Structure 1
């Protein structure tokens, strides 16, 4: 994860002022208890065993407790020495870990490590891995942890080369179906522009295209926790059970939970298309992405045309789909290789 890499540079004392500000913002706004546990565990796993054995955990814990207590009465702090201890499993110690990071960084002091305890040079800055599909393309990826990701057209996922070892974080732009293997120690997290999904072992669909009005998460099996990417809305969480879907209106920022039909919402994985009460403009975007074509509209009134009801098109050609839609919605179309023209007749 990029923020984690910035932290590693911060520990080395070689990050820029911009990176330092980025880290401050992340710790202040986005870091929660699970993130802190994962972050500290990541650093702990990259620390040499010899270094771990020399850490005085009790001294460190008492120092953190004192720092948390002092936070209630003081606004500025200076610390000369602190080391990273192995993350504890109870909630109280996890909270102390989060607060200690916040106190040290936000107070403007230095995050220093005991040189006899943690060899910072051994920390590995993760390399980012990016997988992308273009228009008209769909693909499947088997991840290191055994999880499978199916990418729809024009979709990008980004994860680091430590995925499956000390984290299972993925950034998404587009649409993908995730089949997640169980690992209670490493939650599987998918972050898109508007939604964050956390799961241990389940399968779900995330759709968040930059050019669409809505973003959604549909759960096929298991259970997931969903919250917003937007920091100001992040505290609101929703738990989904199978066949439930959360949809966010990107303009109003309102979200709603509904029951969905898997045969329709997940039909794209079988190379099938379905449209449910969609405006023609949105259907055109889907067809362009799906068939890797450009569609032009001649005439006025496109904003009034809406496909009422639900239609599923199983592995049909673009010509057949346009013919069916045109008959229902009242338009004609002509196809010339990859250039398609829709003539509005109403």
Structure 2
């Protein structure tokens, strides 16, 4: 199998990985050891990359890390030259430039880490600073995270995320609906918490619908792969592209189905699509979309199902179409809409 050079680089530049390699065989942090053991179990496809990254780090054997930067660079180049000699070493000449580049990257990015290890200083975990974005009814927005992930946040939704991801994962907390285009990072899975459900990914595009008061949490996968689990449970389900997982809070059960992309995800592109929707579902979505409240007086749609696709249409236009088809009249008064049975 061809090795993934991006993963090798990710490992080399990960400070937790550097610390783990540096302290192997010593009384190191048990949590760190457990994390990398679990990482290897969860990513068997990256064993070759991990082995190569470990070997690259072992080339760095600084005796005097407190020496000036230029002197340290000379030591590294000497180590590279030694490592590439044909004396049964693990490195071959064909890897020479990649080794050099990786080690110089470590000089620039990881030098301070090795300095701290040699001085036996205490590494203090950076405190998370959380940011919260909230959209009122009738407003949608786009959020870009520091790792490059893009989030489209629907109306009436709230999301919390760290100002900077500093732990072993990228965790955000969602209340409402959002579409995620997750930047790839094989070392830090992206986790979305939503109404008792966790959706875990490495890099993919998916939609999560988890508005307060709903019995269901819906996760629709557009591309890539995600793992969804109930937070209180150890079991999980893997979701493949073009499928949707529905979690029922009252039963604690999951069910899987296909989905209509425009109906489920079209909102992020300004499209409202209703497909066999109930009257209550129509009112809920229109309320969030246009920032209005509905009062229903004497109108009972029964089992009528609503269908339609709208982009850039006014609330009045949509209600006129639905009202003609299902026999209701309406009146818009500011942010309040009153619906009555049609006299026709």
- TM-score, length basis structure 1: 0.65
SS of residue matched to 1:284: helix
Gaps of 5+ in 1: 1-40, 62-81, 96-115
Query: 1:90 is paired with a residue of what secondary structure?
Result: helix
* Cα displacement (A) at 1:94: 8.1
Instruction: Look up the match of 2:187.
Output: 185
State the number of aligned residues: 255
Give 2:334's aligned residue. 337
CA distance in 2, matches of 1:343, 1:267: 29
Preserved CA contact (<8 Å) 2:282 2:306: no
* Aligned partners of 1:205 and 1:218 also within 8 Å: yes
- CA RMSD of the aligned region, Å? 3.2
Q: Deviations over 1:239-291 (max 9, x none)?
A: 11111001123333332111112122111012111223332222212111110
Tell me which of 53, 60, 63 is aligned to 2:27: 60
The residue that corresponds to 2:210 in the other structure is 208
Q: Say whether the 8 Å CA contact 1:306–1:329 is kept in structure 2.
A: no
Q: Mean alpha-carbon deviation: is it higher for 152-161 or for 172-181?
A: 152-161
Superposition TM-score, scaled by structure 2 size: 0.65
In 2, the alpha carbon distance for the partners of 1:319 and 1:245 equals: 32
Separation of aligned partners in 2, 1:225 and 1:145? 20
Seen in structure 2, the aligned counterparts of structure 1 residues 178 and 92 have a Cα distance that, compared at 3 Å, is closer
Larger CA Rg, structure 1 vs 2 = 2
Question: Aligned partners of 2:258, 2:23: CA distance in 1, in Å?
Answer: 52
1:144 to 132, 143, 146: 146
Cα deviations by residue, 1:12-42 (Å, 9 ceiling, x for unpaired): xxxxxxxxxxxxxxxxxxxxxxxxxxxxx9x
In 1, Cα distance between equivalents of 2:274 and 2:243: 18
Whether the 8 Å contact between 2:299 and 2:328 is mirrored in structure 1 is no
| Structure 2 equivalent of residue 273 of structure 1 | 272
Runs of 4+ in 1 over 6 A off after TM superposition: 92-95
Structure 2, unaligned runs of 5 or more: 1-10, 43-118
CA distance in 1, matches of 2:41, 2:242: 33
CA distance in 2 between partners of 1:172 and 1:298 (Å): 34
After TM superposition, give the deviation of residue 324 of structure 1 in Å: 1.5
- Tell me by how many angstroms 1:330 deviates: 2.5
Q: SS state of the match for residue 286, structure 2?
A: helix
Q: 1:242 to 1:125 in 2, by over 3 A?
A: same
Distance in 2 (alpha carbons) for counterparts of 1:117 and 1:201: 36
Deviations 1:79-125 (A, max 9, x none): xxx77655663349989xxxxxxxxxxxxxxxxxxxx95636x3322
Kept after mapping to 1: 8 A contact 2:126/2:166 = no
**1:31 equivalent in structure 2:** none
